[in-house]
Amino acid sequence: MAFTALTPFASKAQEKFTIGYSNLADSDVWLKKLKTDFETAASADPSFNVVFGDANGDVSKQLDQIDNFIAQKVNAIVVLPVDYDGIVPAVEKANEAGIAVIALAIRSHGGKYYYVGSSNLDAGRLQAEFMHDKLPKDAKIVYLQGTLGLYHSNERLKGFLDNLKRPDVTILATQSGDYDRAKGMAVTEDWIQSFPQIDGVVAANDQMALGALQALTAAGRTGVLISGIDGLQDTLKSIVDGAVAHTVFQNATAQAKAAVAVLEKIKAGETVPEETIVPFEPITKDNVKNYIQ
């Protein structure tokens, strides 16, 4: 649940509305883009002062960052939680301090906050619908999962498994590639050695999908349907080339702008919806040119 009424921010020209932004990991390509897009959107309001922190995938580090934001008496906190459960104490501390919290792209299991982002169940569903329609009869597939234990990793996998609805399709293996291209390639290399038939690779993000593509290409495996999530430009180029079949676009720019719009409402003391959902969008060779920059 989220709170919806706050004291309006003082409108003196010289005062700043300070926002603490704790990123899950700057090393992740999509999360880095989201952070950059947020910074760009926030810069349009001269009263906004954003203090950035990189948790680098460490929940303890993220908790310390938020403690520091609270000690600095920031006006709002934007957090991309490293851990769905582990972030709860920090959100609750911010609540006690009267500081508004936005969970961006990833939810918290508790505390009062506004969620701005997409539904990760929907991302998995869109991948399942694509594979349902495109896989051959009696296909065999593998699933590259995101970092184990992360809420959005679980949601993407669940969305896929619940919606595939093809009893003839065999899932040969599910293994984490930690959202990393090199790890996605290494896991796929092992699968290539173990399984003579792989008709599809479903990856919980584009980095792992591209790693899988590298492994398959090096092994001379062709005709494998590859699906990822994020809509990275490298993936889109691979779709144009016919090497990747599908991705699910997670609109970093739209999420960043939506988060800034929520912050504007918080600053003004206006009522804010508990959730602001930015839909995922499926991309294939039929519409990929609409997304290439």
Residue 180: name the closest of 12, 29, 17 by CA: 29
What is the DSSP secondary-structure string of 34-68?
HHHHHHHHHTTSTTEEEEEEE-TT-HHHHHHHHHH
pLDDT of residue 7: 45
Which band of pLDDT confidence, cut at 50, 70 and 90, is reported for residue 151?
A: confident
Percent pLDDT > 90 in the chain is: 92
Distances (CA, A) of 15 to 11, 46, 47, 132: 7, 10, 7, 55
13 has a pLDDT exceeding 70: no
Give me the mean pLDDT over the 268-288 stretch: 96
pLDDT of residue 15: 82
3-state secondary structure of 210: helix
10 has a pLDDT exceeding 90: no
Region of residue 149 (left: phi > 0; alpha: psi -120 to 50; beta: else)? left
pLDDT of residue 71: 98
3-state secondary structure of 121: helix
Q: What is the Cα Rg of the chain in Å?
A: 20
Angle between helical axes of 59-71 and 88-96 (0-180°, round to 10): 10
pLDDT of residue 6: 47
Which band of pLDDT confidence, cut at 50, 70 and 90, is reported for residue 4?
A: very low
Contacts 24+ apart (CB under 8 A), 37-42: 37/252, 37/253, 37/255, 37/256, 37/257, 38/78, 38/104, 38/256, 38/259, 38/260, 40/256, 41/256, 41/257, 41/259, 41/260, 42/260, 42/263
pLDDT of residue 2: 42
pLDDT tens by residue, 86-128 = 999 999 999 999 999 999 999 999 999 999 999 999 999 999 9
Domains of the chain: 17-118+251-279 (3.40.50.2300), 120-249 (3.40.50.2300)
pLDDT of residue 5: 42
pLDDT tens by residue, 178-228 = 999 999 999 999 999 999 999 999 999 999 999 999 999 999 999 999 999
3 has a pLDDT exceeding 90: no
Segment holding 202, helix H or strand E: strand 200-203
pLDDT tens by residue, 34-58 = 999 999 999 999 999 999 999 999 9
Q: Nearest-5° angle of CA 16, CA 76, CA 85?
A: 160
12 has a pLDDT exceeding 60: no
Residue 182: name the closest of 27, 26, 23 by CA: 27
Percent pLDDT > 70 in the chain is: 95
Centre a 10 Å sphere on the Cβ of residue 286 and count the other Cβ atoms it contains: 9
